[in-house]
A and B are shown apart, each in its own frame.
Chain A
Amino acid sequence: MKDQNRSSAAAAGRRQAGEGDPLGANSEIGRKLKQYYNDLVSDEVPDRFSDLLSQLEQAESALKKD
């Protein structure tokens, strides 16, 4: 009976944590996740993408002149 109480209290605790921010600053997983992602976000963007958008823009203005 006591064990049952304990395990349901533990389950409630888990639920509560799950409804908060389980990936917040106090979570090792949460911190690593942000570090992993921020590394990727701060990666230098290759020129091919701004070139691509300029091409799309030029193609469009060429179309308008027709």
Chain B
Amino acid sequence: MAVSAGFKSDLLGSIPSLRAFAVSLSQNADKADDLVQETLVKAWDKHESFQPGTNLKAWLFTILRNEFYSQMRKRGREVQDSDGIMTARLAVHPAQHGQLDLEDFRGALEKLPEDQREAIILIGASGFSYEEAAEICNCAVGTIKSRVSRARSRLQEILQISGEDDFGPDAISAQVMTSPAD
């Protein structure tokens, strides 16, 4: 079956999100674009396995993520484990309240193990549900929840943000806010 024009334009439309996810994963712009290229080629080749009407973005993110981890394995790099050597890698960046610099944030994000970083990006930025993120990462919903929660604590720790909206009315108003999906 030929690749439809619609599929091609959907792929084109997904590129900005794919690049953002690839940079978030690899923390390197060149590697990220190679990942996106590889993802597009793979998606094109196996377009028949995509079920129209399902979430194309999630499908593409899954391909990209698999590609990322398979490249890491090929390079012989151990995939970081969340409970590894994090304490040693925690650098302290004092942040003034409400004045958190984006550069500092980027640095802190980079210090997270991949599994935590991808989880917090998928949930907190890419607009995926916990269920979708679990499918993309091929793990249980509870695993995603715990990675997001650990990632958030780590970031707070590195950036020296205190518990923010854990208590009080903020926590309640946070629950009625919906995060925009892009």
* Chain A residues in the interface with B (C-beta under 8 A): 10, 13-14, 16-18, 20-30, 32-43, 45-46, 48-50, 52-53, 56-57, 60, 64
Pair A37/B24 contact, Cβ less than 8 Å: yes
Is the C-beta of B102 less than 8 angstroms from some C-beta in chain A?
yes
Give A14 to B153 CA distance when docked, in angstroms: 12
Q: Size range of the interface on B?
A: 35 or more
Which B-chain residue is minimally distant from A54 (CB atoms)? B8
* Contact residues in A for B20 (Cβ distance below 8 Å): 37, 40-41, 43
In the docked arrangement, what's the CA distance between A17 and B8, Å?
A: 41
**How far, in whole Å, are A45 and B125 apart by their CA atoms in the complex?**
19
Query: Which residue of chain B has its CB nearest to the CB of A35?
Result: B102
CB distance from B165 to the nearest CB of A (A): 5
Cβ of A31 to closest chain B Cβ, rounded Å: 9
Interface of chain A: mostly helix, strand, loop or mixed: helix
The CA-CA distance from A66 to B12 in the complex, in Å, is 27
Instruction: Give which listed residue, B12, B148, B167, contacts A13 with CB less than 8 A.
Output: B167
Let me know if B64 is at the binding interface, CB within 8 A. no
Q: Is B73 an interface residue (CB 8 A)?
A: no
Known A17-B165, A23-B179, A43-B19; 10 more pairs at CB < 8 Å: A17-B167, A20-B171, A21-B178, A22-B149, A22-B174, A23-B123, A27-B164, A33-B109, A33-B120, A49-B15
Q: How far is it, in angstroms, between the C-alpha of A20 and the C-alpha of B171 when the chains are bound?
A: 8
**Quick one: given A25-B174, A28-B161, are A40 and B3 in contact (CB under 8 Å)?**
no
Show 11 residue pairs from A and B whose CB-CB distance is below 8 angstroms, ordered by the A residue: A17-B167, A23-B124, A26-B164, A26-B165, A34-B180, A36-B24, A36-B109, A37-B24, A37-B121, A45-B15, A45-B16
A18 to chain B, nearest CB (A): 6
A35 to B156, CA, bound (A): 16
